[in-house]
Amino acid sequence: RKEVEQDPGPFNVPEGATVAFNCTYSNSASQSFFWYRQDCRKEPKLLMSVYSSGNEDGRFTAQLNRASQYISLLIRDSKLSDSATYLCVVKGNDYKLSFGAGTTVTVRA
C-alpha cells in the first residue's frame, strides 16, 4: 500500500466552480501535512500547510481528519490559473516527505 494515495483525477471544472478532493495516508504517526502545487513541467511548490483545526488561505481550504487519516483541499471560485497538479504531502517525525501521485485539476473558461 502506498503511504499517500490520491485520486489522480482529472477534475475538469468551469471557472468559478468549487472543486474538492482528498488524499489518504497510511502512517498514523504522521505529524505534518501539506499541499504542494506542481504546474506542468515545473517544480513542486508549497501551497499550504494543513493544520488539525483546518485552515484557509484565500480561496483554498484544507482539512485534516486524523481519525480517518485523510486530508482534503477545497478550491472556491476556481480560476484558470488554478489548473495544476496538487500533491498531498505527509511528514513523519523526521525529515522525510511522502508525496502522493497528485490530483490534476483543469479549470476551463
State the nearest-atom distance from the C-beta of 86 to another protein, in Å.
13
When asked if residue 78 is in the footprint of another protein (CB under 8 A), the reply is no
The Cα–Cα gap between 104 and 109 comes to 17
* Contact residues for 83 (Cβ-Cβ < 8 A; gap 6+): 105, 106, 107
Element (H, E) at 64: strand 60-65
Which of 62, 84, 90, 102 lies at the binding interface for another protein (CB under 8 A)? 102
Cell of 80: 484558470
Cell of 81: 490559473
When asked if residue 101 is in the footprint of another protein (CB under 8 A), the reply is yes
Which of 12, 42, 51, 77 lies at the binding interface for another protein (CB under 8 A)? 42
When asked if residue 17 is in the footprint of another protein (CB under 8 A), the reply is no
Task: Note the residues at the interface with another protein (CB under 8 A).
Answer: 42-46, 49, 87, 91, 95-97, 99-102
